Structure 1
Amino acid sequence: MNTTIAQPLIALCRFLPTLALGLIGGGIAYWLRMPLPWLLGAMITTTAASLMGLRLRSPGRGRKGVLVVIGVMLGSAFTADMSGDLLAWLTSLAIMLLATAVMMLFSVWFSRRVAHHSMDTALYAGVPGGVSAVTGMALDSNADLRVVGMTHAVRILILLAAIPPLLSGIGHVSLQPTGMSLDQWLWLPSPKDAAWLAGAGLLGAWLGQRLHLPNALLFGPALISTGLHLSGLTHASLPPSLIAMAQVVIGVSVGVRFAGTSLAEVRHTLIMATLQAVILLLIAIVAAWGIHALTGVSLAAALLAYMPGGAPELSLVALSLGIDPAFVTSHHLLRITVLILVLPLLLHYLKRVHV
């Protein structure tokens, strides 16, 4: 068999037990009528298995495919009949950048003075979002990559776990999974609509990489899909079964980040990452409440938009719950773009002043 074909097939076969575990967790959570069942169920089961010592496989390239799917899904949230207060959006984006600056200042201070990490580690571990891009940038630095990866993984885990109680506390947001018939689960778009959606994914992934967009496989397809839906060329959405599978793969992607982790060995890192994540979440809550009080923007949408990290995860949550995905995605795209541009300059400055 051709090596080019054989390697992805071997990787897929090795990942199948992990995927099965995620599907079982998601299925149980769906049966128990948990909020965000496929995402949280898969995340909880694979995280627990990882911490118990099971060697779970990462989705690898499969996660890249899921990012493309989520990007196409996000684009479908932008429609020609969208209404919204442009001034409120611009004000919210400005407040989000201010909140991000506060988060960065706190994260660097906390990592340096409390957790006693190096400056490189403190900066890359403290970035509120863009884990894939940030980890890639950290490879060329003196950062402790294990601390960086663990800090981001713990933060995303805490954010996703916090969403149901936070949104329940707000009210007016239905978190209960909607029961669907078998016909609804098996629904597929027409061949024409399927072609539009597939084209948006393929062209968007290529364009995102050519333009060097942050999280190119997510935001590239989102841009093309947005153009198709805003122009009215298609109004297609993705099948529920594909959306559920995307949630499972994202949930598994979070859980497997703890594979090979000994609680005794990384206790300090886990404790520091947890404390940092909780305080960043509190900053996001305060900022979201402030913009809601100032402009009347949906508090639920502001919370998801301001949460420190996980653009694919939080955008997927917004899509799954119908909480203004266009608003949430726009905020995360702007934040990670600004952070990627600013990070090298910030690291140079902080090292120069010996913070």
Structure 2
Amino acid sequence: MLSSLRRLLPALALGLAGGTLAFALHLPLPWLLGAMLATTAASLAGVELHSPARSRQGVLVVIGVMLGSAFTPDISGALGRWSLSLAIMLVATAAMMVFSVWFSRRIAGYSPDTALYAGVPGGVSLVTMMAAGTGADLRVIGITHAVRIMVLLVAIPPVLQAIGHVDLGNATPDPARWLMLPGPADTGWLIAAGVGGAWLGRRLRLPNALLFGPALASATLHLTGVTEAAIPPVLVALAQVLIGVSIGVRFAGTSLALVGRAMLMAVAQALVLLVIAIVTAWVGHLLTGYSAAAALLAYMPGGAPELSLVALTLGIDPAFVTTHHLLRISLLALLLPLLLKQKAAA
């Protein structure tokens, strides 16, 4: 374990440095974007960085507990009213997947297997696991999903500013609140939600069990009023750094010259998907009255931990956003094997 920590330290130090610089420059989402951009640049420059695989698992549990705390008793009646928005999200997801697979096959020229897995709008862990046993190009799939998440995260601040539904300037907590800690009893409930939720998520075979298991356990505790505790902001910042690092190091071992075309194709695809998400979010806002910012984060294709964390950090209805991503990933987990069987039969 100590050796794994030593290997992670350079990437973590670089991520913290990038986050600190972005924070000092008053950039939006500083800890996430700063860490992501710093480690991505280093990876593409040939610096050997190791993935925080085990640390990311712990971070997913923490994020899950944080997301569950957004499900307060006040919103219990809102769950049923989200049905129209959830339906709009599913239509948008279908449109995104049809376009992505078509683009990957016809424009990028990838094989049918690679095009299918690269075109799935989300669930990168599930997609990579399923693609490993096929003839798909795992490098192209990894680059496509990593670049998509990176493009979406970089685009979030300017897009949110443009639609005018959120003030990013108020997203950073007051320095006096950074180390605010819950009391012993509340801390115990949060730990129980994390540990018990992770076990339950795996037991129920939930998609992204380490994220959604703790989220469901924490949501149950908060909806029933057992606890109102929230995760300290300093842990939120650290979670952002580790998520940013985990994205950036996905480009380790690659060179810009070697994978330039794949990255170019991935950027072009991600930009079109972003436009689809923006248009659909605005339509959803007009039809349902929900915040366009919340709809945008809910409808964006993939990166459930990243986008849910952004919603939590910016205070953009994280319960609404998390529910949409849970439904999307659950349906993808159920439907993707059926799509693969149909492709194999054809």
Query: Shorter-chain TM-score: what band?
Result: over 0.9
Alpha-carbon shift at residue 149 of structure 1 (Å) = 0.4
The aligned residue for residue 220 of structure 1 is 213
Alpha-carbon shift at residue 88 of structure 1 (Å) = 4.4
Please say which of residues 167-176 and 302-311 is displaced more in the overlay.
Answer: 167-176
CA distance in 2, matches of 1:175, 1:14: 34
Alpha-carbon shift at residue 101 of structure 1 (Å) = 0.7
**Which residue identity does 1:343 align to in structure 2?**
L
Alpha-carbon shift at residue 224 of structure 1 (Å) = 0.3
- Does the 8 Å CA contact 2:64/2:194 hold for their aligned counterparts? yes
CA distance in 2, matches of 1:283, 1:30: 30
- Match status 1:185 vs 2:178: yes
CA distance in 1, matches of 2:320, 2:180: 27
| Number of residue pairs the alignment of both structures matches | 345
Residue among 237, 240, 244 paired with 2:233: 240
CA distance in 1, matches of 2:279, 2:181: 41
The aligned residue for residue 319 of structure 1 is 312
TM-score (norm 1): 0.95
The aligned residue for residue 256 of structure 2 is 263
Q: Secondary structure at the match of 2:28?
A: coil
Q: What is the percentage of aligned positions where both structures have the same residue?
A: 68
Q: Secondary structure at the match of 2:168?
A: coil
Alpha-carbon shift at residue 347 of structure 1 (Å) = 2.1
- Does the 8 Å CA contact 2:173/2:233 hold for their aligned counterparts? no
CA distance in 1, matches of 2:332, 2:7: 35
- Match status 1:89 vs 2:82: yes
CA deviations on 1:21-67 (whole Å, 9 max, x unpaired) are 11111111111111111111111111111111111111010000000
Alpha-carbon shift at residue 180 of structure 1 (Å) = 2.6
CA distance in 2, matches of 1:314, 1:116: 29
The aligned residue for residue 21 of structure 2 is 28
Q: Secondary structure at the match of 2:235?
A: helix
Structure 2, gaps ≥5 residues long: none
**Which residue identity does 2:87 align to in structure 1?**
A
Alpha-carbon shift at residue 268 of structure 1 (Å) = 1.2
- Does the 8 Å CA contact 2:93/2:121 hold for their aligned counterparts? yes
**Which residue identity does 2:67 align to in structure 1?**
L
The aligned residue for residue 59 of structure 2 is 66
The aligned residue for residue 193 of structure 2 is 200
Alpha-carbon shift at residue 190 of structure 1 (Å) = 1.0
Q: Secondary structure at the match of 2:26?
A: coil
**Which residue identity does 1:12 align to in structure 2?**
L
Alpha-carbon shift at residue 85 of structure 1 (Å) = 4.8
- Match status 1:136 vs 2:129: yes
**Which residue identity does 2:174 align to in structure 1?**
M
The aligned residue for residue 49 of structure 1 is 42
Alpha-carbon shift at residue 261 of structure 1 (Å) = 1.2
Q: Secondary structure at the match of 1:81?
A: helix
**Which residue identity does 2:45 align to in structure 1?**
M
- Does the 8 Å CA contact 1:119/1:351 hold for their aligned counterparts? no
- Match status 1:171 vs 2:164: yes
CA deviations on 1:254-309 (whole Å, 9 max, x unpaired) are 11111111111111101111111111111111111111111111100000000011
CA distance in 1, matches of 2:173, 2:301: 31
CA distance in 1, matches of 2:79, 2:190: 28
- Match status 1:120 vs 2:113: yes
The aligned residue for residue 333 of structure 1 is 326
- Match status 1:149 vs 2:142: yes
